Amino acid sequence: MTPRTIVITGASDGIGAAAARTLARAGDQVVVVGRSEEKTRAIAKEMDADYFVSDFSELAQVRTLAAQLESDYPRIDVLANNAGGIMGKRTLTVDGNEATFQINHLAPFLLTTLLMETLAASNAKVINTSSGANSFGKLDLFDLNAEHGYSTNRAYGTGKLANILFTSELHRRFGGQGITTAAFHPGVVRTNFAADSTSPFRHAYKTLLNRLMLTPDQGADTLLWLVNGTAGKDWISGAYYYKRALAKANRQAYDAELARRLWEQSEELVKGS
């Protein structure tokens, strides 16, 4: 069989790196995308894989990444939008967007839509790493930059909720063109996640509670299951998963009108980048 081309963002560490290693060992052509030049290059060298460096806090870098991928890979079988994170105090990016929202939602939204022609021609899967934290998110279309009542955890939860809404709307708009898509919660994974944030979550990653968390390989399990499975047979396109099963999300995640309007506003927010 011809090796699949699988692009994984946020692949220099954590579940992204774990999934990349597993897929590379299986013979897939893995393309590693990360923010750190040093870490991304090291992971790619380990697997003899191609890599790109892109900081999602700058949408211009996302556009450059999309152009590079489109140029180098005429076929992309899987796009795993795995990059993201929880931030500290409220800050705006150079693009004028609240950083948590941009890094977790707008950047992968932009990357996916810029690659849509290639993805559709490849009958690709788009897998989005969400989180159970979506449950304490609250998406306000009139306050996407969280100017009112900002909190670190709520901003992260809202970004992860946006991932699920993006997944369902991506299926609605492009499912008929061959795109299949799913979002998933990896579980609480033992990584450097939240280490540089002001979230109370950061303490758990530095204490004995760390031992109770999943390993990156365990956290990557559902991602690999979605990548290797078949939509319509093993999983449902447009849905949200945890531990290889359909999962319950924030009630806003099932609002089709909200998903449609979020897509439209996201298009406007990335237009000038």
Written as six digits, the tokens of 172 are 């609605």
Give the residue from 154, 89, 97, 71 showing the smallest Cα distance to 269.
97
Q: Where are the alpha helices (DSSP H) in the chain?
A: 14-25, 37-47, 59-72, 99-101, 107-114, 116-121, 152-174, 201-204, 216-219, 221-228, 256-271
Question: What is the DSSP secondary-structure string of 169-219?
Answer: HHHHHHGGGT-EEEEEE--SBSSSTTTTS-STHHHHTTSGGGGGSBPHHHH
Residues 6+ apart with CB under 8 A from 252: 137, 138, 139, 161, 165, 258
Residue 273: helix, strand or coil by DSSP?
coil
Catalytic residue positions, numbered: 156
Written as six digits, the tokens of 58 are 């700058």
Written as six digits, the tokens of 109 are 């939204």
Residues 6+ apart with CB under 8 A from 57: 93, 94, 99, 102, 103, 107
Residues 262, 272 contacting (CB under 8 angstroms): no
DSSP class of residue 76 equals: -
d(CA 173, CA 256): 12
d(CA 239, CA 168): 7
